[in-house]
Amino acid sequence: MIPYSTQLIEQDDIDAVVEVLQSSHLAQGERVAELEKSISEYIDIKHTIMFNSATSALFALYNCYDIKEGDEIITTPISFVATTNMFVTLGAKPIWCDVKLDGNIDEKQIEKLITPKTRAIVAVDFGGKPVEHKAIAAIAKKHNLLYIDDACHAFGSDIEGKKVGTFADATVFSFHAIKPFTTGEGGCVVTNDDKLAQKLRLFCSHGVVKKQFWNADMVQMGFNFRLTELQAALGLSQIKKVNHFIQKRNEIAAYYDERFKNHKLFMTQKIATDQKSARHLYPLILDPALHCPKEDIFIELQEKGIGVQVHYKPIYQNSYYKELFGETSLLVANDFYRSELSIPCHQKMSLEDAKKVADIVLKVLEKYSYRGCSF
Protein backbone atom coordinates (compact mmCIF):
# COMPACT_ATOMS: atom_id res chain seq x y z
CA MET A 1 0.00 0.00 0.00
CA ILE A 2 1.27 3.47 -0.92
CA PRO A 3 -0.27 5.73 1.78
CA TYR A 4 -1.61 9.18 0.91
CA SER A 5 0.95 10.64 3.35
CA THR A 6 3.49 9.32 5.82
CA GLN A 7 6.57 10.19 7.82
CA LEU A 8 10.18 9.49 6.83
CA ILE A 9 12.21 8.45 9.89
CA GLU A 10 15.92 7.92 9.31
CA GLN A 11 18.81 6.80 11.49
CA ASP A 12 19.74 10.34 12.57
CA ASP A 13 16.18 10.80 13.86
CA ILE A 14 16.39 7.56 15.82
CA ASP A 15 19.79 8.49 17.23
CA ALA A 16 18.45 11.86 18.39
CA VAL A 17 15.60 10.24 20.30
CA VAL A 18 17.82 7.52 21.80
CA GLU A 19 20.18 10.21 23.08
CA VAL A 20 17.31 11.72 25.07
CA LEU A 21 16.26 8.31 26.39
CA GLN A 22 19.80 7.88 27.73
CA SER A 23 19.82 11.34 29.32
CA SER A 24 18.44 12.55 32.65
CA HIS A 25 15.69 14.76 31.14
CA LEU A 26 12.76 13.23 29.25
CA ALA A 27 10.63 16.33 29.80
CA GLN A 28 11.09 20.04 30.46
CA GLY A 29 14.66 20.17 29.21
CA GLU A 30 16.51 22.33 26.71
CA ARG A 31 15.48 20.72 23.44
CA VAL A 32 11.95 22.14 23.39
CA ALA A 33 13.40 25.67 23.59
CA GLU A 34 15.91 24.79 20.88
CA LEU A 35 13.13 23.57 18.60
CA GLU A 36 11.11 26.73 19.24
CA LYS A 37 14.16 28.80 18.26
CA SER A 38 14.69 26.74 15.10
CA ILE A 39 11.06 27.15 14.03
CA SER A 40 11.11 30.91 14.71
CA GLU A 41 14.22 31.27 12.57
CA TYR A 42 12.72 29.14 9.80
CA ILE A 43 9.46 31.12 9.71
CA ASP A 44 11.18 34.46 10.47
CA ILE A 45 8.96 35.30 13.42
CA LYS A 46 9.57 36.39 17.02
CA HIS A 47 7.82 33.70 19.04
CA THR A 48 7.16 29.98 18.75
CA ILE A 49 5.35 28.17 21.56
CA MET A 50 5.36 24.38 21.35
CA PHE A 51 2.36 22.24 22.34
CA ASN A 52 1.71 18.51 22.56
CA SER A 53 -0.70 18.77 19.60
CA ALA A 54 -2.06 21.36 17.19
CA THR A 55 -5.47 20.81 18.82
CA SER A 56 -4.01 21.89 22.18
CA ALA A 57 -2.39 24.85 20.42
CA LEU A 58 -5.74 25.94 18.94
CA PHE A 59 -7.51 25.57 22.29
CA ALA A 60 -4.81 27.58 24.05
CA LEU A 61 -4.86 30.29 21.38
CA TYR A 62 -8.64 30.76 21.47
CA ASN A 63 -8.49 30.88 25.29
CA CYS A 64 -5.67 33.41 25.35
CA TYR A 65 -7.61 35.59 22.89
CA ASP A 66 -10.55 35.36 25.33
CA ILE A 67 -12.93 33.82 22.79
CA LYS A 68 -16.16 33.29 24.71
CA GLU A 69 -19.86 32.56 24.62
CA GLY A 70 -21.71 34.78 22.17
CA ASP A 71 -18.72 35.42 19.94
CA GLU A 72 -18.94 34.56 16.25
CA ILE A 73 -15.98 33.13 14.35
CA ILE A 74 -15.95 33.18 10.55
CA THR A 75 -14.27 30.04 9.29
CA THR A 76 -14.21 27.33 6.65
CA PRO A 77 -16.14 24.06 6.92
CA ILE A 78 -13.48 22.23 4.87
CA SER A 79 -11.05 21.34 7.62
CA PHE A 80 -10.45 18.81 10.37
CA VAL A 81 -13.00 19.31 13.15
CA ALA A 82 -10.42 20.59 15.65
CA THR A 83 -10.30 23.96 13.87
CA THR A 84 -13.86 24.63 15.04
CA ASN A 85 -14.20 22.33 18.06
CA MET A 86 -11.70 24.30 20.08
CA PHE A 87 -13.68 27.56 19.97
CA VAL A 88 -17.13 25.93 20.06
CA THR A 89 -16.17 24.36 23.40
CA LEU A 90 -15.66 27.94 24.66
CA GLY A 91 -19.19 28.88 23.63
CA ALA A 92 -18.41 30.66 20.36
CA LYS A 93 -20.45 30.07 17.21
CA PRO A 94 -19.01 29.14 13.81
CA ILE A 95 -20.15 31.28 10.90
CA TRP A 96 -19.45 29.16 7.86
CA CYS A 97 -17.86 30.77 4.83
CA ASP A 98 -17.96 28.85 1.57
CA VAL A 99 -14.78 27.70 -0.16
CA LYS A 100 -13.35 27.93 -3.65
CA LEU A 101 -12.67 25.03 -5.98
CA ASP A 102 -9.18 24.61 -4.49
CA GLY A 103 -10.63 23.95 -1.00
CA ASN A 104 -9.51 27.27 0.49
CA ILE A 105 -11.86 29.77 2.10
CA ASP A 106 -13.41 32.19 -0.39
CA GLU A 107 -12.05 35.52 0.80
CA LYS A 108 -14.59 37.42 -1.35
CA GLN A 109 -17.45 36.05 0.77
CA ILE A 110 -16.02 36.87 4.20
CA GLU A 111 -17.00 40.53 4.58
CA LYS A 112 -20.74 39.96 4.11
CA LEU A 113 -20.68 37.52 7.07
CA ILE A 114 -19.32 40.06 9.56
CA THR A 115 -21.70 41.17 12.33
CA PRO A 116 -21.23 43.11 15.59
CA LYS A 117 -20.64 39.72 17.28
CA THR A 118 -17.75 38.71 14.99
CA ARG A 119 -14.45 38.31 16.86
CA ALA A 120 -12.16 36.52 14.44
CA ILE A 121 -11.55 35.07 11.01
CA VAL A 122 -9.98 31.59 11.08
CA ALA A 123 -8.55 30.42 7.75
CA VAL A 124 -7.11 27.03 6.76
CA ASP A 125 -4.41 26.56 4.11
CA PHE A 126 -5.98 23.46 2.57
CA GLY A 127 -3.50 20.80 1.50
CA GLY A 128 -0.64 23.25 1.99
CA LYS A 129 -1.80 25.83 -0.55
CA PRO A 130 -1.75 29.30 1.04
CA VAL A 131 -5.05 31.13 1.28
CA GLU A 132 -5.25 34.73 0.07
CA HIS A 133 -3.56 35.95 3.25
CA LYS A 134 -3.08 39.58 2.27
CA ALA A 135 -6.74 40.03 1.36
CA ILE A 136 -8.00 38.29 4.51
CA ALA A 137 -5.60 40.22 6.76
CA ALA A 138 -6.84 43.47 5.20
CA ILE A 139 -10.47 42.54 5.92
CA ALA A 140 -9.60 41.66 9.52
CA LYS A 141 -7.75 44.94 10.01
CA LYS A 142 -10.56 46.98 8.44
CA HIS A 143 -13.12 45.52 10.86
CA ASN A 144 -10.80 45.26 13.90
CA LEU A 145 -10.99 41.45 13.96
CA LEU A 146 -8.47 38.81 14.95
CA TYR A 147 -6.95 36.92 12.05
CA ILE A 148 -5.97 33.36 12.97
CA ASP A 149 -4.39 30.96 10.49
CA ASP A 150 -4.83 27.22 11.00
CA ALA A 151 -1.81 26.29 8.91
CA CYS A 152 -1.64 22.67 10.05
CA HIS A 153 -1.19 21.63 6.39
CA ALA A 154 1.21 24.40 5.49
CA PHE A 155 4.49 24.40 7.42
CA GLY A 156 7.03 25.50 4.81
CA SER A 157 4.49 27.00 2.40
CA ASP A 158 5.10 30.58 1.30
CA ILE A 159 3.89 33.50 -0.79
CA GLU A 160 6.56 35.44 -2.70
CA GLY A 161 9.16 33.86 -0.42
CA LYS A 162 7.39 34.97 2.77
CA LYS A 163 6.51 32.01 4.93
CA VAL A 164 2.99 31.09 5.96
CA GLY A 165 3.00 31.94 9.65
CA THR A 166 3.88 35.60 9.15
CA PHE A 167 0.58 36.89 7.70
CA ALA A 168 -1.91 36.39 10.54
CA ASP A 169 -1.99 37.66 14.12
CA ALA A 170 -1.20 34.10 15.18
CA THR A 171 -0.71 30.87 13.26
CA VAL A 172 -1.01 27.23 14.34
CA PHE A 173 1.11 24.45 12.83
CA SER A 174 0.83 20.69 13.24
CA PHE A 175 3.71 18.22 13.48
CA HIS A 176 1.55 15.09 13.41
CA ALA A 177 3.15 11.97 11.96
CA ILE A 178 1.89 12.50 8.41
CA LYS A 179 2.96 16.15 8.12
CA PRO A 180 6.03 17.19 6.04
CA PHE A 181 8.09 17.06 9.21
CA THR A 182 7.02 15.48 12.45
CA THR A 183 7.40 15.25 16.20
CA GLY A 184 5.05 12.23 16.24
CA GLU A 185 2.29 14.31 17.78
CA GLY A 186 2.79 17.99 18.40
CA GLY A 187 2.06 21.50 17.26
CA CYS A 188 2.89 25.13 17.90
CA VAL A 189 1.65 28.69 17.77
CA VAL A 190 3.81 31.34 16.09
CA THR A 191 3.26 35.07 16.56
CA ASN A 192 4.98 38.44 16.77
CA ASP A 193 2.73 39.46 19.70
CA ASP A 194 4.84 39.54 22.90
CA LYS A 195 1.89 39.58 25.34
CA LEU A 196 0.10 36.76 23.54
CA ALA A 197 3.26 34.65 23.54
CA GLN A 198 3.66 35.11 27.30
CA LYS A 199 0.03 34.07 27.91
CA LEU A 200 0.43 31.01 25.68
CA ARG A 201 3.58 29.85 27.48
CA LEU A 202 1.76 30.05 30.81
CA PHE A 203 -1.35 28.37 29.45
CA CYS A 204 0.79 25.50 28.12
CA SER A 205 2.16 24.74 31.58
CA HIS A 206 -0.60 25.04 34.20
CA GLY A 207 -0.51 28.86 34.25
CA VAL A 208 2.39 28.59 36.67
CA VAL A 209 5.36 30.95 37.08
CA LYS A 210 8.37 29.54 38.93
CA LYS A 211 10.34 32.18 40.80
CA GLN A 212 12.58 29.46 42.18
CA PHE A 213 12.43 25.72 41.55
CA TRP A 214 10.50 25.22 44.80
CA ASN A 215 8.42 28.41 44.69
CA ALA A 216 5.68 28.34 42.03
CA ASP A 217 2.75 30.71 41.60
CA MET A 218 -0.27 30.02 39.40
CA VAL A 219 -1.12 33.38 37.80
CA GLN A 220 -3.67 32.29 35.16
CA MET A 221 -5.62 29.23 34.07
CA GLY A 222 -3.52 26.66 32.30
CA PHE A 223 -3.07 23.00 31.39
CA ASN A 224 -0.28 20.53 30.80
CA PHE A 225 0.03 20.86 27.02
CA ARG A 226 3.83 20.57 27.03
CA LEU A 227 5.88 18.82 24.37
CA THR A 228 8.37 16.23 25.67
CA GLU A 229 12.12 16.24 25.12
CA LEU A 230 11.73 13.04 23.09
CA GLN A 231 9.40 14.78 20.65
CA ALA A 232 11.56 17.88 20.52
CA ALA A 233 14.65 15.82 19.72
CA LEU A 234 12.84 14.21 16.81
CA GLY A 235 11.65 17.63 15.66
CA LEU A 236 15.16 19.12 15.81
CA SER A 237 16.42 16.30 13.63
CA GLN A 238 13.50 16.52 11.21
CA ILE A 239 13.51 20.30 10.74
CA LYS A 240 17.02 20.11 9.30
CA LYS A 241 15.51 18.09 6.45
CA VAL A 242 12.16 19.84 6.04
CA ASN A 243 13.15 21.75 2.88
CA HIS A 244 14.30 18.49 1.30
CA PHE A 245 11.07 16.76 2.33
CA ILE A 246 8.95 19.55 0.84
CA GLN A 247 11.03 19.51 -2.34
CA LYS A 248 10.42 15.75 -2.68
CA ARG A 249 6.67 16.26 -2.23
CA ASN A 250 6.71 18.97 -4.87
CA GLU A 251 8.60 16.71 -7.29
CA ILE A 252 5.87 14.10 -6.95
CA ALA A 253 3.21 16.80 -7.34
CA ALA A 254 4.94 18.18 -10.45
CA TYR A 255 4.90 14.72 -12.02
CA TYR A 256 1.17 14.43 -11.30
CA ASP A 257 0.53 17.94 -12.63
CA GLU A 258 2.07 16.95 -15.96
CA ARG A 259 0.33 13.55 -16.16
CA PHE A 260 -3.06 14.99 -15.23
CA LYS A 261 -2.90 18.23 -17.19
CA ASN A 262 -6.31 19.26 -18.57
CA HIS A 263 -7.85 15.89 -17.75
CA LYS A 264 -11.56 15.67 -18.51
CA LEU A 265 -12.52 13.61 -15.44
CA PHE A 266 -11.02 15.77 -12.68
CA MET A 267 -9.15 18.93 -11.76
CA THR A 268 -6.08 19.31 -9.58
CA GLN A 269 -5.25 22.02 -7.04
CA LYS A 270 -3.35 24.74 -8.91
CA ILE A 271 -0.52 26.49 -7.07
CA ALA A 272 0.15 30.07 -8.22
CA THR A 273 3.60 30.93 -9.55
CA ASP A 274 4.26 33.27 -6.59
CA GLN A 275 3.31 30.54 -4.08
CA LYS A 276 4.94 27.40 -2.73
CA SER A 277 2.87 24.64 -1.18
CA ALA A 278 4.16 22.20 1.44
CA ARG A 279 2.01 19.66 -0.47
CA HIS A 280 0.63 17.98 2.60
CA LEU A 281 -2.08 16.72 0.25
CA TYR A 282 -2.50 16.22 -3.47
CA PRO A 283 -6.28 16.52 -3.98
CA LEU A 284 -8.14 15.50 -7.10
CA ILE A 285 -11.45 17.30 -7.67
CA LEU A 286 -13.61 14.77 -9.50
CA ASP A 287 -16.08 15.57 -12.25
CA PRO A 288 -19.73 15.36 -11.11
CA ALA A 289 -20.09 12.22 -13.26
CA LEU A 290 -17.87 10.46 -10.70
CA HIS A 291 -19.71 11.60 -7.57
CA CYS A 292 -22.06 8.62 -7.42
CA PRO A 293 -19.42 5.89 -7.87
CA LYS A 294 -16.88 7.69 -5.66
CA GLU A 295 -17.17 5.17 -2.83
CA ASP A 296 -16.56 2.30 -5.25
CA ILE A 297 -13.61 4.22 -6.73
CA PHE A 298 -12.20 4.69 -3.24
CA ILE A 299 -12.56 1.00 -2.39
CA GLU A 300 -11.04 -0.22 -5.66
CA LEU A 301 -8.06 2.11 -5.39
CA GLN A 302 -7.44 0.87 -1.85
CA GLU A 303 -7.67 -2.73 -3.05
CA LYS A 304 -5.10 -1.96 -5.74
CA GLY A 305 -2.66 -0.59 -3.15
CA ILE A 306 -3.32 3.12 -3.58
CA GLY A 307 -3.97 4.64 -0.15
CA VAL A 308 -6.43 7.37 -1.04
CA GLN A 309 -8.35 9.46 1.49
CA VAL A 310 -11.07 12.12 1.51
CA HIS A 311 -10.52 15.62 2.98
CA TYR A 312 -13.00 16.64 4.37
CA LYS A 313 -16.65 16.18 5.11
CA PRO A 314 -17.87 19.74 5.82
CA ILE A 315 -17.76 20.20 9.58
CA TYR A 316 -21.41 21.29 9.62
CA GLN A 317 -22.46 17.88 8.27
CA ASN A 318 -21.27 16.12 11.44
CA SER A 319 -24.06 14.99 13.77
CA TYR A 320 -22.80 17.06 16.70
CA TYR A 321 -22.88 20.28 14.69
CA LYS A 322 -26.28 19.53 13.20
CA GLU A 323 -27.71 19.03 16.69
CA LEU A 324 -26.01 22.14 18.07
CA PHE A 325 -26.52 24.63 15.23
CA GLY A 326 -29.05 23.02 12.88
CA GLU A 327 -28.74 22.18 9.22
CA THR A 328 -26.30 24.14 7.06
CA SER A 329 -25.60 23.84 3.36
CA LEU A 330 -22.95 25.66 1.34
CA LEU A 331 -22.92 24.97 -2.39
CA VAL A 332 -19.20 24.77 -3.12
CA ALA A 333 -18.26 23.10 0.19
CA ASN A 334 -20.88 20.39 -0.39
CA ASP A 335 -19.67 19.80 -3.94
CA PHE A 336 -16.04 19.84 -2.84
CA TYR A 337 -16.69 17.02 -0.38
CA ARG A 338 -18.45 14.98 -3.05
CA SER A 339 -15.57 15.64 -5.45
CA GLU A 340 -12.36 15.51 -3.38
CA LEU A 341 -10.02 12.50 -3.40
CA SER A 342 -6.50 12.78 -1.97
CA ILE A 343 -3.91 10.57 -3.66
CA PRO A 344 -0.43 9.64 -2.31
CA CYS A 345 2.12 12.46 -2.26
CA HIS A 346 4.98 12.38 0.24
CA GLN A 347 8.75 12.30 0.69
CA LYS A 348 9.09 8.51 0.82
CA MET A 349 7.71 8.13 -2.70
CA SER A 350 9.85 7.68 -5.81
CA LEU A 351 8.85 8.83 -9.28
CA GLU A 352 8.23 5.14 -10.04
CA ASP A 353 5.71 5.12 -7.17
CA ALA A 354 4.09 8.25 -8.59
CA LYS A 355 3.84 6.65 -12.03
CA LYS A 356 2.18 3.58 -10.49
CA VAL A 357 -0.31 5.77 -8.63
CA ALA A 358 -1.11 7.84 -11.74
CA ASP A 359 -1.51 4.77 -13.97
CA ILE A 360 -3.90 3.04 -11.58
CA VAL A 361 -5.89 6.19 -10.74
CA LEU A 362 -6.44 7.03 -14.40
CA LYS A 363 -7.45 3.47 -15.22
CA VAL A 364 -9.93 3.23 -12.33
CA LEU A 365 -11.48 6.65 -12.96
CA GLU A 366 -11.93 5.85 -16.63
CA LYS A 367 -13.62 2.58 -15.70
CA TYR A 368 -16.21 4.32 -13.51
CA SER A 369 -16.73 7.38 -15.70
CA TYR A 370 -19.45 5.60 -17.69
CA ARG A 371 -21.59 4.56 -14.73
CA GLY A 372 -23.06 7.96 -13.84
CA CYS A 373 -25.88 8.20 -11.31
CA SER A 374 -28.85 5.88 -11.25
CA PHE A 375 -31.21 8.28 -9.48
**75-79, 169-173, 235-239, 371-375: least confidently modelled range:** 371-375
Give domain limits for the chain: 2-239, 242-368
- Give CA torsion, residues 102, 104, 110, 113, to 10 deg: 100
pLDDT band at 28 (very low <50, low <70, confident <90, very high): confident
Distance CA(58)–CA(227), nearest Å, equals: 15
pLDDT band at 84 (very low <50, low <70, confident <90, very high): very high
Beta strand 187-191 with 47-51 is antiparallel
pLDDT at 372: 63
134-191 pLDDT, tens digit each:
999 999 999 999 999 999 999 999 999 999 999 999 999 999 999 999 999 999 999 9
pLDDT band at 214 (very low <50, low <70, confident <90, very high): confident
Higher pLDDT, 369 or 311: 311
Distance CA(191)–CA(208), nearest Å, equals: 21
The whole-model pTM stands at 0.97
pLDDT at 375: 42
Fold topology of 2-239: Aspartate Aminotransferase; domain 2 (3.40.640)
CB-CB contact of 256 with 343 (8 Å):
yes
CATH architecture of the domain with range 242-368: Alpha-Beta Complex (3.90)
- pLDDT, the chain, mean: 97
CB-CB contact of 124 with 78 (8 Å):
yes
Q: Residue 2 has what DSSP assignment?
A: E
**210-224, 228-242, 300-314: least confidently modelled range:** 210-224
Contacts of residues 326-332 at CB distance under 8 Å and 24 or more positions apart, as own/partner, are 328/77, 328/96, 330/77, 330/96, 330/98, 330/99, 331/98, 332/98, 332/99, 332/100, 332/101, 332/106
How much of the chain exceeds pLDDT 70, in percent? 99
Mean pLDDT of 302-328: 98
Residue 252 scores a pLDDT above 50: yes
pLDDT at 2: 98
pLDDT at 60: 99
Mean pLDDT of 22-36: 94
pLDDT at 215: 87
